[in-house]
Homo-oligomer: A and B are copies of this chain.
Amino acid sequence: MLRRCVSRLRTPGALCCPLAGAPPPARDSWSPPRSYSSEVVHVDHSLPNPSWSKDMRLIFYQFMKKSEDGSWKRLPSYRFTSSKRLEEVKIFFPDAKPVKEEPLSQARVFPRSLEEGLGFEYAMFYNHVENRTVCILQGGPYLQGVPGFLHGGAIATMIDSTVGMCALKTGRTVMTANLNINFRRPIPLCSVVVINSQLDKIEGRKLFVSCSVRSVDEKTLYSEATSLFVKLDPKKSSP
């Protein structure tokens, strides 16, 4: 889907708009829980927290060490995005409007929507020389597919996020056109995996990015994926 470099989104602020269009009668009395309201919106969630396992911390600090000479850079990650981005999106998809234009005060970035330790615990690092993005992921108990293992959609979500980050660091405003995933082995729930993505080539407005998902010791290949991103052209209403 459509992306833009989140590392540039330092401005705190929640995107806002209602849950749906003109509310039907059945929804009049319903409103979503507002437990999110107390969060400070500019919290960087890609830093260690008490739910991180030993493996997660180990790999994280390995990449922090690599970042000391500037070859790698940790990418911050927020639960909310600036409402300014909605205006940017309209340039490319003027007819693909949200259900209602009003602010969606409840909106959260999907991979950061679950509470600490329950869903996606992850951190990303980018190497601008090699055009690579690495994501270290600890999939929590709310990401279950078959008992004891991650749901395929959870894996797809983090693959999409990682290759997307790799593409947008090169292509600025890009859109996922294709995502092709081969699932080799199920990933144990609560384990740590490393998603290693790289920009393979650029052809005009097309960016080709691939990735692998492996265990921390690199011995187990869980998944592989290829993806195609398209740089959006502000002069056109769609890619």
Contact = CB atoms under 8 A, between A and B. Distances in A.
Interface of A: 1-4, 15, 17-24, 26-27, 29-30, 32-33, 48, 50-54, 57, 81-83, 85-86, 89, 93, 96-100, 104, 106-111, 113-119, 138, 140-161, 164, 175-183, 185-186, 188-191, 238
Contacts of A185: 93, 96, 238
A218 to B, nearest CB: 16
Contacts of A159: 153
A186 B191 CA distance: 32
Given A106-B118, A109-B151, A156-B179, A99 B188 contact: yes
B181 A152 contact: no
B107 A142 contact: yes
A103 to B, nearest CB: 10
Give how many copies assemble into the complex. 2
Contacts of A161: 153
A158 to B, nearest CB: 7
Given A20-B138, A177-B182, A180-B181, 9 more contacts: A19-B140, A26-B57, A29-B50, A33-B115, A98-B191, A106-B118, A109-B145, A113-B142, A153-B159
A54 B24 contact: yes
A63 B22 CA distance: 23
Contact of A99 (B181, B183, B189): B189
B19 A190 contact: yes
A87 to B, nearest CB: 9
Contact of A177 (B86, B97, B158, B183): B183
A19 B180 contact: no
Contacts of A33: 115, 118
